[in-house]
Structure 1
Amino acid sequence: MVSNSKYKVIVSDRAKRMLGTHIRFMAQVNKEAAAAKKKEIMAAMRSLKQMPQRFPYFEELYITPNKYHKMFIEKWYLVLYQIQDDTVYVEYILDCRKDYSWLIK
């Protein structure tokens, strides 16, 4: 049976700031690529309205088990989010080319 339930997706202020930082940096080199990447990331996050459980849990030693799901977006970006009832909370948008060890300590 296919579930058509839609989840509400809420992007935290922190995640919005992280996305803005990534896009501003990219725009310094190529504005069109930055706009396309922002569109791609936003579409990926909107897709979490349907079956957000399809992505695995983010498992690191210092992160509470089964707390965050992880969604990779085209090579470099990692979106971490939680599901609570019928709401998806996007908490982090990470550029995997950078060190994010601060998150897991």
Structure 2
Amino acid sequence: MTGVEVYRGEKLLFRGGVWNADGSYWLYKEDGTMADTGIFYVSSDGIERDQDGNRIDPAEPSVATILELIDGPVLTHKGTWYAWCGAVCVSILNVLSILFADELFR
């Protein structure tokens, strides 16, 4: 288990221990209780709230999501040089067809 503190500006969001169990994060507060269960509900006025009734911003990531991003997904290269060179050749052919449109289409 690793001890962490997560802040948003000057505000403390989480302080406690994090245990990474095969990709899932278990968060424990300082007092040993579990934290960040991810349970929420939508009230009748359309506002998302957590299990304690506090308002949740749906665009704000949870502490577990922040810790997963810090741990980081494995970065991979999604492209190949062959595809890039092929696209450059197609672009050059397109430029030539535009420049010599009158000779190609009479």
On whether the aligned pair clears a TM of 0.5, the verdict is: no
Q: Which has the larger radius of gyration?
A: 2
* TM-score (normalizing by structure 2): 0.26
Between Structure 1 and Structure 2, which shows a larger proportion of helix residues?
1
Higher RCO, 1 vs 2 (CA within 8 Å, ≥6 residues apart): 1
Q: Please give the TM-score of this superposition, normalised by the length of structure 1.
A: 0.26
Q: Looking at secondary structure, tell me which structure has more strand per residue.
A: 2
